[in-house]
Structure 1
């Protein structure tokens, strides 16, 4: 027999609710990455190797450095033409958000019996028949 299973979660300060409190988004946050020099970067300037690696225009790279989104050896980038060596590393910050999740309190069961379950669900909730 099929049963209604509703996943409930407590509201959190980490979420922003939209669309009549049915869709919640994670608040944007900064993710920090610490990356060692890659072999293909050795002997090249930091700006040249970074821009080639991440396909970033040099003027955008310089703006990131000015706002401390990119650091070299955990320090502010003072010389973008620094030649990369084995012991160098660079740190980046990226704005991240998780995928959209749904507050399942709003899903309405239209019909249910031993062989079928009909729901009125939001369009972004996938249906997987193998899970039933």
Structure 2
């Protein structure tokens, strides 16, 4: 997907008891890879609402956003707003655009596919003093 102006995406780092919620992508790019729940912000939608919506669509999990971890950008068409969140209801299960949902220990995550993932996880570990 190519956009002439930057597109905003919401990424949500859902965490609980030293674990992070990941989804296995069932769409391109990076089909079959584990990633943080994420997606584009719709026109007229608040970024925080997009974060909550994307987690719900992908995992059927209700969340409570606890903080804005940061804004990540680089050379490319996407600006990421990364939120930290806690589970607030339900059990994660497979939703749209994913084939699997799982909790992973923050210290033994699978390789994540997107360019900013390493920095996002490193910043989370620093913030949480892990």
Same-fold status (TM-score > 0.5): no
Higher strand share: 2
TM-score under structure 2 normalisation?
0.23
Work out which of the two has the higher radius of gyration on C-alpha atoms and give 1 or 2. 1
